[in-house]
A and B are shown apart, each in its own frame.
Chain A
C-alpha cells in the first residue's frame, strides 16, 4: 500500500503506448482517474501511480490532458478563453469524457 507521501506526478498511458506525465491534482479532476488512483482502495493503478487506458488512443488522451490542465488553470476565473478542439476529435473526446467522468 502506498502509505508514503503521494507522488506529485502521475502517468497516464494511452492504448497505443503514449505516456503522459501530469500533476496528480489535475489528473484527479477526472472521476475515473481519481478513483483509480485512490490510495484508500489500493488498486494496482494506485500502487504504481500509472493508469493504462485500453480504450483511449494517444491523440485523444493528449487532448484530455490538455483539457485537465486547462480546467484546473481556469477553475476559479471568469472570461475563460475557449479551448481549441479540432472537430474531427469531437466525438471521440465526448466518449472519453463520459468514460472518464470529467
Chain B
C-alpha cells in the first residue's frame, strides 16, 4: 500500500540531507519566532515525504539532536545571563544580601526560566504539528515517545539538570527550588511576591517528570521541589514555634498558628500546587501544634489562664488546634480536668475553712442566741450554702466554656462531668451530699420566698444538677430525709407544692426507689391532717365543751419511713427513749386520741414523740406596774416546744413566789436531760424569751439551779416564739457526722446483702470477681460501695448459710443456697 502511494503521488526520489536542511532552517525560524514566513504545508510535506521514505528514524534523531543543541546553547546561555552573582550568593547563604535585591533577582530568574519554558512549549508544539506524520506513523510503530514528550524530557535534562555554570556544579533545578523557597520565605516574613510567576514555574515542574515513565508521583514537583519545601517549612516552623513559645503568650500563639495554617492553605492555592495542601498542613500542625501542645497548654498564659480569665475565643482556638492533631484532645482535656479539680478543691477548702474559722464577730454579744456552738453551726450552714453556690458557679462557668468554646464536644463534655464528679466526691471532702441537702433545705425555708415559679424551678434544677454528680446517693437521701422531716414537722417549708416538685424532679433523676420514702412522708402528713380534723370532730361530738380544752394537732408518722432517730438529740442512746410525763390536762387528751386512733386502726401502736412537738400557749402575766404608772394584765401567745409547755404548766400550778429546782423539774416531767437543759436555756437564759428566772443567773444549767416564774416578763409582741436552742437544720457536728456515717454504713450493708442475694438467686453460681462486679453495678445508682465491705457482707451471708463456697473451683466461687 505504501509503495503504491509512493509511486502514485510522490514517486520522485528525495534527497534526505537536502530536505533536512530545509526543515532545520525552518525550525530555527520557528525558535526565533519567525514562523509566519514559513508554509506549514511545505514543511509538513517535507516531513511527510521523509517518513514515507522510511527515513523516520533518522528524522527523529535529527530533530532531537537539533533540539538538544538549541537548548544547551541558546536557551542555556540566556538563562545563564539571568544568574546574577547576587542570586548565586543568595543560593549559597540565604540572608547575606539585601532581601529586596534578592527578591528582584529571584523574580528575574524565575521570569527568564518561565519564558524559556513557555517558548520551548510553544515551539515544540509547532514542531510536533509539522512532524505530525512522523509522530503518527514512525513513533507509534516503533514505540517511541512522541517528539513533543521527548523534547520536554530534553528540557529537563539539558536545562534543569544542567549545572548552573562551569564552576558551579549545582543544577539549575536546585537553584530554581532555592529561589522559590526563598520567595516563599519572603512572603512568610511579610513581603509581597509574584505569586502568579511562581505558580507558573511550579506548573512547569508539575508537567515534567523524573524519568521517562511519567508516573504521577514521579513529577519533578513531587520528587524535588515539594520535598524540599516540606523540609524547609518544617525547619522554619520548628524555629518559629520555639520563638513564639518564648516570646508570646498562649493566646497569641494560637492565633498565630491559625493564621499560619490559613496562609499555607492560601499559598498552596495561589502559589504552589493544591496537592501539597494536606502535606504542608500536616507539617505545620506537627511542628506548631503536636510537638508543642503540651508546652502550650502548660504555659503561664495557657489553658489555665484562659479559663481563669474567661478567654473564650482563645480557648476555642486552642480547642480547634488541638482537635486538628488529636481526636481525643488529650492535652486540652487533661488541662481542663486539672483546672476543674483544682478550682473544685479550692471551693472545698474554702468551705472547710469557712466552717472552721472562728466566728466573724465574737465580740458582738447582742446577737441574741449567744451560744458559740450555735454560731459555729450557723456559720457551717452558711459555708455549706456558699459551697453549693460556688460549685454551681463553677459549673455555669464551664458550661459556658463548653458551649461557646468547645462546641459541646463529646470528649470534653465527659471530661468536665468526670472532673466535677471527682472533686465533689473527693475523699478529702466528704460533705457534699449533706451540703446539697442543706442548700435545698435553705431554699425551701427561705430562698424561694418572693420568687416566681420559673426561678424556683431554676434553683431546684441546679440542685438536681449537683446531685447528679454525687456518688453516694444513699447518704444524700439520708440527709434529705432528715432535713425534710424537720421541715414538715415544724412547718418550716414555704410551699408544699415546691417540695413535691423537688421530689418529682429527684424521681426523674434517680428513680422511683429513691423517692419512695420521701413520698411516704408526704402521705403521712396528709393522713395526719385528716386524723387531726377527724379527732377534732370526734371530741366535739363528745360534747365536751370545756373552754380550757386543748386543741390537738397530730402527726402520725410511719416509723420506718421517717428518720426519727436522727431527730432525737444525740445524748440519749437509742431504745432508751424516756417517756415524758404529761400534766393531767394533756394526759387526758392524749388518751382520748389514742382511743380514737385505735378505734380507726386496730393493732397499731402509737409512740409519742414529745421532743418534736410544739404548742401555742395563751399565757396571762399578772398586773405589773408599767413605766407610765398604769398596771395592766398582759397576755401573750407563746409558741413553745412541747417540752417547754410541759415545764411551763408545772409553774402554772405553783404559787408565784415558789421555785422549782432543775432536779425537781426533771423528776416531775421525766424529760431527757439534754432536752430539758436546752428548753430551760431558751426559757430562762435567752434574753427575749425569759419567761422563767434562773438562780444563779448564768448560761449553763446546773442540776441545783432554781427556777422562778418571771412575773415581770416583758415582750414587745403579742405572739412570742420561744426557739429551742439548736433545733434547725444545720451542718452536723463531727460527732453527729460520724454517727450518720455509721448508720449509713449499716444501711449500706443491708443494701449490699440484698443485692448479693438478688444476684445469686438469679445466677445460682458465680465467681467472686463477677459477683463483686455485678454488685457494684447494681448499686451504682445509689452509692459506690467499697469492695472490702462487699467481701464482708458475702462472708456474713455464707455464715448465715445463704451462700456457700464451691469447693475445688479454680477461682473463688459461690453457690446460692435456696
Cβ B9 vs Cβ A55 within 8 A? yes
Cβ A91 vs Cβ B8 within 8 A? yes
Stretch at the interface among B35-43, B212-220, B628-636: B35-43
Task: A91 to B3: give the CA distance in the assembly, Å.
Answer: 12
Contact of A41 among B41, B125, B133 (CB under 8 A): B125
Q: Let me know if B44 is at the binding interface, CB within 8 A.
A: yes
What are the interface flags for B25-48 relative to A under an 8 Å C-beta threshold, 1 for contact and 0 otherwise? Answer: 000000000011111111011001
Nearest opposing residue in chain A for B48, CB measure:
A99
Contact of A1 among B36, B41, B44 (CB under 8 A): B36
Nearest opposing residue in chain B for A1, CB measure:
B36
Cβ A44 vs Cβ B36 within 8 A? yes
Interface of B is mostly: helix
Contacts of B133 on A, CB cut-off 8 Å?
Answer: 99, 101
Task: A44 to B34: give the CA distance in the assembly, Å.
Answer: 10
Cβ A43 vs Cβ B40 within 8 A? yes
Cβ A54 vs Cβ B45 within 8 A? yes
How far is the CB of A95 from the nearest CB of chain B, in Å? 5
Cβ A40 vs Cβ B36 within 8 A? no
What are the interface flags for A26-68 relative to B under an 8 Å C-beta threshold, 1 for contact and 0 otherwise? Answer: 0000011001101011111111000111110000000000000
Contacts of A101 on B, CB cut-off 8 Å?
Answer: 132-133, 136
**Which of A36, A41, A91 has the largest count of B CB atoms less than 10 A from its CB?**
A41
Cβ B41 vs Cβ A98 within 8 A? no
Contacts of A19 on B, CB cut-off 8 Å?
Answer: none
Nearest opposing residue in chain A for B26, CB measure:
A43
What are the interface flags for B99-126 relative to A under an 8 Å C-beta threshold, 1 for contact and 0 otherwise? Answer: 0000000000000000000000010011
How far is the CB of A49 from the nearest CB of chain B, in Å? 12
Contacts of A44 on B, CB cut-off 8 Å?
Answer: 35-40
Nearest opposing residue in chain B for A36, CB measure:
B40
Cβ A42 vs Cβ B132 within 8 A? no
How far is the CB of B420 from the nearest CB of chain A, in Å? 72
Task: A32 to B134: give the CA distance in the assembly, Å.
Answer: 12
Q: Let me know if B719 is at the binding interface, CB within 8 A.
A: no
What are the interface flags for B61-101 relative to A under an 8 Å C-beta threshold, 1 for contact and 0 otherwise? Answer: 00000000000000000000000000000000000000000
Q: Let me know if B716 is at the binding interface, CB within 8 A.
A: no
Q: Let me know if B10 is at the binding interface, CB within 8 A.
A: yes
Q: Let me know if B389 is at the binding interface, CB within 8 A.
A: no
Task: A42 to B132: give the CA distance in the assembly, Å.
Answer: 16
Contacts of B44 on A, CB cut-off 8 Å?
Answer: 32, 35-36
Cβ B36 vs Cβ A43 within 8 A? yes
What are the interface flags for A58-102 relative to B under an 8 Å C-beta threshold, 1 for contact and 0 otherwise? Answer: 000000000000000000000000000000000110110011010
Cβ A53 vs Cβ B9 within 8 A? no
Contacts of A38 on B, CB cut-off 8 Å?
Answer: 129
A-B residue pair count with CB separations less than 8 angstroms:
67
Q: Let me know if B818 is at the binding interface, CB within 8 A.
A: no
Q: Contacts A35-B129, A55-B45: A41 and B40 contacting too (C-beta < 8 A)?
A: yes
How far is the CB of A15 from the nearest CB of chain B, in Å? 10
Considering only residues 43-61 of chain B, those with a C-beta below 8 Å from chain A are: 44-45, 48
How far is the CB of A45 from the nearest CB of chain B, in Å? 5
Contacts of A41 on B, CB cut-off 8 Å?
Answer: 35, 40, 125-126, 129
Cβ A32 vs Cβ B132 within 8 A? yes
Nearest opposing residue in chain B for A45, CB measure:
B40
How far is the CB of B139 from the nearest CB of chain A, in Å? 14
Contacts of A35 on B, CB cut-off 8 Å?
Answer: 40, 44, 129-130, 132
Contacts of A98 on B, CB cut-off 8 Å?
Answer: 5
Contacts of B130 on A, CB cut-off 8 Å?
Answer: 35
Task: A32 to B39: give the CA distance in the assembly, Å.
Answer: 12
Q: Let me know if B667 is at the binding interface, CB within 8 A.
A: no
**Which of A1, A31, A35, A51 has the largest count of B CB atoms less than 10 A from its CB?**
A35
How far is the CB of B124 from the nearest CB of chain A, in Å? 11
Task: A91 to B132: give the CA distance in the assembly, Å.
Answer: 22
Task: A53 to B122: give the CA distance in the assembly, Å.
Answer: 25
Contacts of A31 on B, CB cut-off 8 Å?
Answer: 132
Task: A46 to B36: give the CA distance in the assembly, Å.
Answer: 8
Q: Let me know if B4 is at the binding interface, CB within 8 A.
A: yes
Contact of B122 among A40, A47, A52, A92 (CB under 8 A): A40
Cβ A45 vs Cβ B5 within 8 A? no
Cβ B125 vs Cβ A40 within 8 A? yes
Nearest opposing residue in chain B for A55, CB measure:
B9
Cβ B39 vs Cβ A52 within 8 A? yes
Task: A77 to B133: give the CA distance in the assembly, Å.
Answer: 30
Cβ A45 vs Cβ B39 within 8 A? yes
Contacts of B48 on A, CB cut-off 8 Å?
Answer: 99
Contacts of B4 on A, CB cut-off 8 Å?
Answer: 91
Contacts of A32 on B, CB cut-off 8 Å?
Answer: 41, 44, 132
Cβ A36 vs Cβ B41 within 8 A? yes
**Which of B8, B36, B45 has the largest count of A CB atoms less than 10 A from its CB?**
B36
Contacts of B10 on A, CB cut-off 8 Å?
Answer: 55
Q: Contacts A41-B126, A91-B4: A53 and B41 contacting too (C-beta < 8 A)?
A: yes
Could you jot down 21 A-B contacts, CB within 8 Å? Answer: A31-B132, A32-B44, A32-B132, A35-B132, A36-B41, A36-B129, A41-B35, A42-B35, A43-B36, A43-B38, A43-B39, A44-B35, A51-B41, A52-B39, A53-B41, A54-B42, A55-B10, A92-B8, A98-B5, A99-B48, A101-B136
Q: A36-B44, A54-B45 are in contact. List 16 more A-B contacts (CB 8 A).
A: A35-B132, A40-B125, A41-B126, A41-B129, A42-B36, A43-B36, A43-B39, A47-B36, A51-B40, A52-B41, A54-B41, A55-B45, A95-B8, A95-B9, A99-B48, A101-B133
CB-based closest 5 A-B pairs: A43-B40, A36-B40, A35-B129, A41-B126, A42-B35
